[in-house]
Amino acid sequence: MTTNNSPQNARKEGRRAMSTPPVVPQQAWEAAHEQLLVKEKAMTRARDALAAERRRMPWLAVEKPYVFDGPEGKASLLDLFAGRRQLIVYRAFFEPGVHGWPEHACIGCSLGADQVSHLAHLNARDTTLVYASRAPQADIVRLKARMGWERIPWYTITDSFDADFGVDEWHGHNAFIRDGDRVFRTGFINGRGDEAMGTVWSYLDMTALGRQESWEDSPQGYPQTRPYKWWNWHELYVPGAAVDPEWDRVSEAGEAAFREKHDD
């Protein structure tokens, strides 16, 4: 079934007529697309440059011993890393006083949780994502099961963590890195910046180490591997495993195309 959005029909139905773009032949459409593509590529390069700047942000040492409640009891900020080198903490609003409580978390935070990609890919880059709210663990477990968010590690804030990291009144993502047992804050994204979050790429781009791929402009000594080569099906990641020979062959072509487009 199609809908006729003509001005005449809009007036009959009491709707405001849409001022739509012109309908053109294929050649004209492709020419317009090529013009737009120039700007899209410029935006991609600008996004890459911004991520490179993030990787050069100074680090802030975290000295306070923050404590969270988790599925297995008390947990420190260091525990939230789950043994990995990097950590992203999203402050989700699920607690008394928030619209939707106790059946739901904040509508916006819930929409964000629905976007979270499979975390195995992020974990493969030595990075952990967790959510943190002030709701008790029993309510968080219930919410995760109801909404299909079981794969998202979700902790309860018990102290001033949210106030200290700018997320006591509004949502936001804080990025951290650890050097042994020392933890450092490396990045912060909130407001409309959170709209882009959810993919493995958006998470990695906000971290101190980035995507850890050889094409990136990163400081000397940062971990980097060739693009495509580290990818795998989410249930088959094995640390240090050799690349599947068939994927190695297929990804060679993909990497060549990536280099051509990236250098374009």
Mean pLDDT by 10 residues, the chain (264 residues): 54 76 97 98 97 98 98 97 98 98 98 98 98 98 98 98 98 98 98 97 98 97 94 92 87 77 59
State how far the Cα of 175 lies from the Cα of 62, in Å rounded to an integer: 12
Q: What pTM value is reported for the model?
A: 0.91
Q: 127-133 and 86-91: which strand pairing?
A: parallel
Tokens of 85: 């080198």
Cβ atoms of residues 143 and 94 within 8 Å: yes
**Structure confidence at residue 186 (pLDDT):** 98
- Given this model, what pLDDT does residue 13 score? 64
Rounded to whole angstroms, how far apart are CA atoms 212 and 208?
10
**Residue 49 identity (one-letter amino acid):** A
Q: How far apart are CA 208 and CA 218, in angstroms?
A: 9
Residue 210: its pLDDT value, please?
A: 98
User: Distance (Å, rounded) from C-alpha 151 to C-alpha 119?
Assistant: 8
**C-alpha to C-alpha distance for 123 and 126, rounded to whole angstroms:** 5
Q: pLDDT value at position 242? A: 84
- What local confidence, expressed as pLDDT, does residue 255 receive? 76
